[in-house]
Amino acid sequence: MTHTVSPRSLPLLVALLALVVLPITLTRTARAQPAAEAPVYQSFDLGNRSAASSQEILLAIRNLVPSAKSVLLPTQGILAVTATPTQMQLIRSMLTSLNQPGDIYRLTYTLTSADSAPRQYTLLVSTHGSTVFKRGMRVPILTGPISPHADAQFQYIDIGLNITASFEGTGPSQRLHTKFEQSSLNGERTLSGTDEPQIDQVLIDERISLSTTHPTQISSFTLPATHEHFILTLTAEKLP
């Protein structure tokens, strides 16, 4: 016996089939899709890297894995990351490549003058880090009024020599950033009835291509207090 479907019943039959087939199809599709990965947390020690180098690593991770959450703690040298296990595996691989130990250089800064013996200051600096050398004293400066009913208030400033050395960039474009600051007392002057120290200061902020074959002159300057002229040169040696 042959059954024919009335044209009026055809839309109803299609709707009934959709109610039966569509849930089965959706269930199979849902079962085929993998479950979403739960994010995990991990912190990475960036070692003795400079702030600029650590920022470059953070930027690389954010560009290549934008959906991961990464925060840099520069004072501790720690990179904190929250990502899925798959993303975390990629980030670990990136850090293994990017966070390699740097080369170590012995930097010798020499101050020469016609009026005094040469002065030398030696620092060890990693290509991934920075080194700070300080020598001097702290001088108090009166900042609060003196009265019978209140204690005097002072602010201390550093006087002497500060040298900061760090590397910037990589490969042929890598440069050494030197910040050389020398300050000294040059008498006192009276302000509002109070004797305040007068300070002379020389600041050199230079970026140079490092040479290990010959000394490099960084700058020359004259101290305001003594009118003594100095030449600052740098000798670099790569350590094995």
Task: Give the tens place of pLDDT for each residue, 103-141.
Answer: 899 999 999 998 889 999 999 998 887 899 999 888 877
Instruction: Report DSSP state, residue 107.
Output: E
Residue 13 domain-assigned (yes or no): no
pLDDT for the residue 14: 47
Burial 105-134 (b: 16+ CB within 10 A, else e): bebebbbbbeeeeeeeeebebbbbbbbeee
- Note whether 86 and 40 are within 8 A (CB): no
Lookup: tokens for 65: 């894995």
Q: Are 197 and 184 in contact (CB under 8 A)?
A: no
Which residues of the chain have a pLDDT value below 50?
2, 5, 12-14, 16-20, 22
Of 106, 111, 108, the C-alpha closest to 202 is: 111
Q: Are residues 129 and 216 in the same domain?
A: yes
pLDDT of residue 6: 55
SS3 call for 86: helix
- pLDDT of 127 reads 87
Classify the C-alpha dihedral 52-53-54-59 as positive or negative: positive
C-beta contacts of 131-134 below 8 A and 24+ residues apart: 131/164, 131/165, 131/166, 132/162, 132/163, 132/164, 133/161, 133/162, 133/163, 133/164, 134/158, 134/160, 134/161, 134/162, 134/163
Number of domains the chain contains: 2
Q: Which of 98, 127, 143 is the last residue of a domain?
A: 98
* Tokens coding 96: 């293994």
Q: Is the pTM of this model over 0.75?
A: no
| pLDDT the model gives residue 222 | 85
- Using CA atoms, how far residue 207 sits from 120, 167, 177, 199, 217, in Å, is 20, 9, 4, 26, 12
Are residue 76 and residue 59 in the same domain, yes or no? Answer: yes
- Kindly compute the dihedral angle of the four CA atoms of residues 188, 190, 194, 196, in this order, to the nearest 10 degrees: -30
Within this chain, do residues 89 and 159 fall inside the same structural domain, yes or no? no
Domain around 122: 104-238
User: In terms of domains, do 53 and 142 share one?
Assistant: no
Phi first, then psi, for residue 52 (nearest 5°) are -65, -40
* Residue 23 falls inside a structural domain: no
Question: For 73-87, how does the pLDDT look when each residue is reduced to its tens digit (9 = 90+)?
Answer: 988 889 999 999 999
Q: Is the residue at 22 inside a domain? A: no
Question: For a pLDDT cut of 90, what percent of the chain falls above it?
Answer: 39
| Structure confidence at residue 226 (pLDDT) | 76
232 and 115 share a domain? Answer: yes
Mean pLDDT rounded to a whole number for the chain: 81
Q: What is the pLDDT of residue 80?
A: 94
Bridge partners for 69 per DSSP: 82
Residues 93 and 169 in one domain: no
Domain boundary among 82, 98, 114: 98
Let me know whether 113 and 219 are in one domain: yes
Residue 3's pLDDT is what? 52
Determine the Cα–Cα distance for residues 77 and 62; give it in Å rounded to an integer.
17
Are 67 and 137 found together in one domain?
no
Q: How many CB atoms lie within 10 A of CB 190?
A: 8
In-domain check, residue 52: yes
